[in-house]
Amino acid sequence: MSINYGKWLADAKEAYKYTLLKFECGDLEITDIKELYTIAPLVAAEKNQIDDAEIIREMCDFISENAEQDFSVDEGSKNHYKFHFVISFINSHVPPEIITEMEGDRIMEYINDEWELFD
């Protein structure tokens, strides 16, 4: 099956814009924008109409483990909240088997080339 990279880019941008707006309006449980990535699995679940609590928990755990690993290497990388949100949004699709980790890596590579995630 072929990956529609343009659709993934559009979906990631839409998810980020939606989540950032909710954050700015105070509609999220987080108060630090550096924690925006923690919302990504919930946005991905909503977008894909996933309502199984166990799968959503797996998505959140998967993202949490990846983020903890990244932050243990470079605590300062938390400042790149847009990047961490997007990679978390993409990787949230791995536990429900919408994509594989390898596909997620390729999608992120494409998005990174097409969208400035570190501004």
pLDDT in tens, 85-110: 999 999 999 999 999 999 999 999 99
The domain in which residue 98 lies consists of 12-114
Angle at 26 between CA 24 and CA 32, to 5 degrees: 75
pLDDT at 81: 96
Q: DSSP letters along the chain, please?
A: ----HHHHHHHHHHHHHHHHHHHHTT-SS--SGGGGGGGHHHHHHHHTT---HHHHHHHHHHHHHHHHHHHHH-GGGGG-HHHHHHHHHHHTTTTTTSS-HHHHHHHHHHHHHHS----
Q: Is the pLDDT of residue 1 over 80?
A: no
Q: Has residue 56 been placed in a domain? A: yes
Q: Is the pLDDT of residue 2 over 90?
A: no
Q: Has residue 2 been placed in a domain? A: no
Query: How many structural domains does the chain have?
Result: 1
Q: Has residue 82 been placed in a domain? A: yes
pLDDT at 35: 96
pTM, two decimals, is: 0.95
Q: Is the pLDDT of residue 28 over 80?
A: yes
Q: Has residue 6 been placed in a domain? A: no
The rounded percent of the chain whose pLDDT value lies above 70 is 99
CA separation for the pair 26, 7 (Å, rounded): 28
Q: Has residue 4 been placed in a domain? A: no
CA-based nearest residue to 60, from 38, 87, 85: 38
The CA radius of gyration of the chain, in Å to the nearest whole number, is 13
CA separation for the pair 54, 35 (Å, rounded): 22
pLDDT digits (tens, 9 = 90+) for 65-81: 999 998 999 888 999 99
